[in-house]
């Protein structure tokens, strides 16, 4: 099935309107990394359909927050304006929001349909199934933070993002996305949510912190014995 097959009307699903949040200030780097799920994406399992360049969807996901404004790599659609990406996580997550950077051009995606816990998504399935949530996107080069309904995204193992159309209204067949990130809480299956995590970065202090955690864990074990 072509991803340009005619869409059914999803009139029964409401759209959510969100204001984009600017994250271009260096002094808000730390808050932006709180609850980052970057470390918990199973990059090897990411599947992106209708990408013009192989693995460009995965490359966009691999951008860190510090690289969010870099123009390359970029995810560009191929045959038409639609893009379907399925992202598996290394455990179960409570999704809080999606971070997205596109552009003020006609190639910016307009609507994003989200589906959870499907590892068999294709364009036909994305057009037929009712989405978990639909987000309306903005035509901007700012990083948009798009909150989701947390009650619907409390046990996510796979997240599928269906960028259904763009602002070209049929006149622009290429959709472009330069950054995608996720915020939420990660937990191993069957365990309680982990503490707040931050994106991995080459910081010498990381080793000191990790060492301190090991000592603290040893102290706890001694007290419990």
* Tens digit of each residue's pLDDT, the chain (225 residues): 444 443 444 333 444 444 434 444 334 445 566 799 999 999 999 999 999 999 999 999 999 999 999 999 999 999 999 999 999 999 999 999 999 999 999 999 999 999 999 989 999 999 999 999 999 999 999 999 999 999 999 999 999 999 999 999 888 999 999 999 999 999 877 665 554 444 544 444 444 444 444 344 444 444 444
Pick the closest to residue 76 from 120, 109, 115 (CA basis): 109
Alpha carbons 44 and 88: distance in angstroms, whole number: 9
Check residue 224 and report its DSSP letter.
H
* Residues near 81 by beta carbon (within 8 Å), at least 6 away in sequence: 109, 163, 165, 166, 168, 172, 173, 174, 175
Evaluate whether 160 touches 98 at the Cβ level (below 8 Å).
Answer: no
Task: Tell me the domains of the chain and their CATH numbers.
Answer: 26-224 (2.60.120.470)
Task: Give the whole-angstrom CA distance, residue 64 versus residue 33.
Answer: 10
User: What pLDDT sits at residue 106?
Assistant: 97
- Paired residues of 39 in beta bridges: none
Give the pLDDT score at 34: 78
Residue 192 DSSP symbol: P
- Dihedral Cα 221, 222, 224, 225, nearest 10 deg: 110
Report pLDDT for 30: 53
Per the rule left: phi > 0, alpha: psi between -120 and 50, beta: everything else, 119 is alpha
Is 68 within 8 Å of 101 (Cβ atoms)? yes
CB atoms within 10 A of CB 219: 10
Residue 130: which residues within 8 A CB-CB, separation 6 or more? 10, 12, 13
């Amino acid at each position: 099935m072509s991803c340009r097959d005619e869409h059914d009307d999803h009139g029964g699903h409401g759209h959510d309107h969100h204001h984009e949040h600017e994250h271009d200030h260096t002094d808000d780097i730390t808050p932006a990394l709180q609850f980052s799920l970057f470390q918990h994406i199973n990059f090897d399992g990411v599947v992106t359909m209708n990408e013009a360049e192989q693995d460009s969807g995965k490359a966009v996901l691999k951008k860190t927050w510090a690289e969010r404004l870099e123009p390359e790599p970029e995810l560009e659609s191929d045959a038409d304006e639609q893009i379907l990406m399925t992202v598996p996580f290394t455990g179960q997550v409570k999704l809080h929001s999606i971070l997205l950077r596109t552009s003020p051009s006609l190639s910016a995606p307009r609507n994003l349909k989200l589906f959870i816990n499907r590892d068999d998504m294709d364009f036909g399935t994305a057009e037929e199934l009712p989405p978990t949530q639909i987000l309306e996107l903005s035509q901007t080069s700012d990083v948009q933070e798009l909150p989701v309904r947390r009650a619907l995204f409390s046990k996510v193992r796979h997240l599928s993002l269906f960028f259904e159309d763009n602002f070209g209204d049929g006149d622009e067949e290429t959709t472009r996305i330069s950054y995608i990130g996720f915020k939420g809480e990660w937990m191993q299956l069957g365990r309680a949510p982990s503490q707040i995590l931050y994106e991995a970065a080459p910081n010498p202090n990381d080793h000191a912190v990790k060492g301190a955690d090991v000592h603290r864990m040893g102290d706890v074990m001694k007290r419990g014995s």
